[in-house]
Structure 1
Amino acid sequence: MKIKKSALLDALKVLGKVVSQTSPVEVQRSVRFLGVGEQVWLTATDGVESVTAEVAGDAGEMEEFTVEYKALRELIRSTRGGEVEVTGKLLDWPEMEAVPDDALTVELPPDFGRLLALAAPVVDQREARFALRGINLSRNGVTATNGKELLNLPCPLKIPEDITLPFPLALLTAKPEGAGTLHLWNCRNERLFRIVIGGFQWQGKALPGNFPDWKQVIPADKTLDYRIEIH
């Protein structure tokens, strides 16, 4: 399988946010390649979350194999020219939960990735309250808090109840552009999600716990002494 070195390097920057290079589990140290013609999908998982990035390449009719992340980085460094030829071995790659037919599907606006990037600096990933380590989605938009500051970004989402995403490090690195899709469903008492934006896909489990109701945190307009509007 042949892939442009720059495209592979960009994909590895994203997948590297999920790969665990010190894991005793080989799958979690590796990247799965699945190619059909000129389309190649690279996937990494930490056992809970799974991230897939699509790149252009040359895979013939169909190729599937895995390569350890560290070996891929070394391959890029040692290869001259703008194209890399990648080979690997087959591993028993764990299949992520399929999106069921009755899953809730919500359209995401073109600026969804930008909103998450704006909310991310507020999040404290070392916060004792697990739910506060992520970013909350609700009908009223995107919300993040560290217990001292709270930020709500209006973004009407057609979801019946809020959901807290894990900190979206891979998505922030990928910076996918354009409209996307959010799938939500329940499986074995857990809330699962899948976000698809262009050639980027992220699937995982929602964070447990109650996220603060931002409307109860931010005072009503009539109780404010001062108000600043930025247009």
Structure 2
Amino acid sequence: MKVTVERSELLRSLSHVHRVVERRNTIPILANVLIRADRAELAFKATDLDIEVIETIAAEVATPGVTTVPAHMFYEIVRKLPEGAQITLDATGDRAVMVIRAGRSKFTLQTLPESDFPDLAAGDMTHAFALPAADLKRLIDKTQFAISTEETRYYLNGIFLHVAGEGAGAMLRAVATDGHRLAQVEFPAPPGTDGMPGVIVPRKTVGEVHRLIEDPSGEVTIDLSATKIRFTLGGVVLTSKLIDGTFPDYGRVIPAGNDKLLEVEKHDFEQAVDRVSTVSSERGRAVKLSISGGKLVLSVTNPDSGSATEEIEVGYDADPLDIGFNSRYLLDIAAQIDGDTAVLKLADPGSPTLIQDKDAKGALYVLMPMRV
């Protein structure tokens, strides 16, 4: 294999594929990226056996061929080469090496045979549909923070993607929860989603897809079955296994009868929570909300360091209420509110609270209270 490629194109492509490769591998070939040169194209493939990313770019191919080299080292070499450099990749010799040349720089990397490289066979995909990249980005942005990191509850370690409703009213819905907070986002289901199985997209896959959305004005094609999902964004194809588990009946924790409405200016609320939580303990993080009339008093008491209170004006005309929340969770949800006003629908100090953006439909958040 001998090929010449422009440095910026090569770096951009490697930045997409090398992230999938784990830093520590017990199987040597999984530390490598597969490089295939054919006609006027250069294709890269990387995998961790759960996710596979393939990207194809244009290149001057003098000699077609295929090889594999250490992914992270290859990426670092290309990253450190000067901008505008023309890079030649040469693996035409008999020795198991690939030579990288750019100007006066020369690197020699050990290779492994491409026959050892695993293939994450996608199999037959039962459903296919397209989404505007901006919609997929919003769907991830608004739910990713609530994905559980607790490995024992593996079925919560991703976003539950499914269709809710039927016919013209069907919605493509994404839900994530860690048991303390829940995020749900939905928009009209695109053509091709009829009868689609509900799938749990793993946390790592969600993160990689989010990073790949570099142009929100583009389109993403999604193919899926009950066990795999494939995202196609321009010249990048990401295939992933799905989490084999049952997502809980999240509808049971979304409160329907919360009748105490609190309207608060999002920016003021966010700033106040952030300020008073400065004195909270790392373990507790509890902030107390005392609501009565048209005011909200936020307070934090930490026996080890002190206390803080702040009062802000709000819209509230129900009975007075004291309720506590984890301040970090409150800030995470507040960050998802795009409009100027957040609406908190409360019931009592022991029941979950529903939080929504007053100006935007399609997204809701549920937060469990804390004892304070």
1:107 corresponds to 2:129: yes
* 8 Å Cα contact 1:17-1:169 kept in structure 2: no
Which residue number corresponds to residue 72 of structure 2? 70
Show CA shifts across 1:176-222 (max 9, x none).
54222222235xxxx122222222212121112221333222122x5
Q: Aligned equivalents of 1:59 and 1:79: distance in 2?
A: 21
* 8 Å Cα contact 1:127-1:146 kept in structure 2: no
Which residue number corresponds to residue 151 of structure 1? 183
Which residue number corresponds to residue 163 of structure 2? 139
TM-score by length of 2: 0.54
Q: Which has the higher contact order (CA 8 A, sep 6+)?
A: 1
The structural deviation recorded for 1:133 is 1.1
Unpaired segments ≥5 residues, structure 2 = 91-97, 99-110, 165-172, 262-342, 344-355, 361-372
Q: Aligned equivalents of 2:37 and 2:214: distance in 1?
A: 21
1:9 corresponds to 2:11: yes
* 8 Å Cα contact 1:13-1:173 kept in structure 2: no
* 8 Å Cα contact 1:15-1:170 kept in structure 2: no
| Aligned positions, number | 224
1:84 corresponds to 2:98: no
More strand by share: 2
Which residue number corresponds to residue 332 of structure 2? none
Does the C-alpha gap of structure 1 residues 79 and 163 become closer, same or farther in structure 2, counting only changes over 3 Å? same
* Percent of aligned positions that are identical: 22
* 8 Å Cα contact 2:127-2:196 kept in structure 1: no
Q: Aligned equivalents of 1:114 and 1:56: distance in 2?
A: 31
Query: What SS does the aligned partner of 2:260 have?
Result: coil
* 8 Å Cα contact 2:142-2:183 kept in structure 1: no
Does the C-alpha gap of structure 1 residues 216 and 54 become closer, same or farther in structure 2, counting only changes over 3 Å? farther
The structural deviation recorded for 1:60 is 4.6
Show CA shifts across 1:99-126 (max 9, x none).
32xx312213112134223322222323
Unpaired segments ≥5 residues, structure 1 = none
Flag the structure with larger Rg: 2
1:175 corresponds to 2:175: no
Q: Aligned equivalents of 2:127 and 2:43: distance in 1?
A: 23
Q: Aligned equivalents of 1:35 and 1:216: distance in 2?
A: 53
The structural deviation recorded for 1:139 is 0.5
Query: What SS does the aligned partner of 1:16 have?
Result: helix
Deviates more, 1:74-83 or 1:142-151: 74-83
Query: What SS does the aligned partner of 1:23 have?
Result: coil
Deviates more, 1:165-174 or 1:129-138: 165-174
**Structure 1 residue corresponding to 2:148, chosen from 109, 115, 124:** 124
**Structure 1 residue corresponding to 2:245, chosen from 186, 198, 209:** 209
The structural deviation recorded for 1:74 is 4.2
Does the C-alpha gap of structure 1 residues 230 and 202 become closer, same or farther in structure 2, counting only changes over 3 Å? same
Residue type at the aligned position of 2:359: I
Which residue number corresponds to residue 25 of structure 1? 27
Q: Aligned equivalents of 2:212 and 2:39: distance in 1?
A: 23
Does the C-alpha gap of structure 1 residues 43 and 122 become closer, same or farther in structure 2, counting only changes over 3 Å? same
Show CA shifts across 1:141-192 (max 9, x none).
1111121111111132614331001112222222254222222235xxxx12
Does the C-alpha gap of structure 1 residues 224 and 12 become closer, same or farther in structure 2, counting only changes over 3 Å? farther
Residue type at the aligned position of 1:174: L
TM-score by length of 1: 0.83
* 8 Å Cα contact 2:41-2:58 kept in structure 1: yes
Q: Aligned equivalents of 2:10 and 2:259: distance in 1?
A: 51
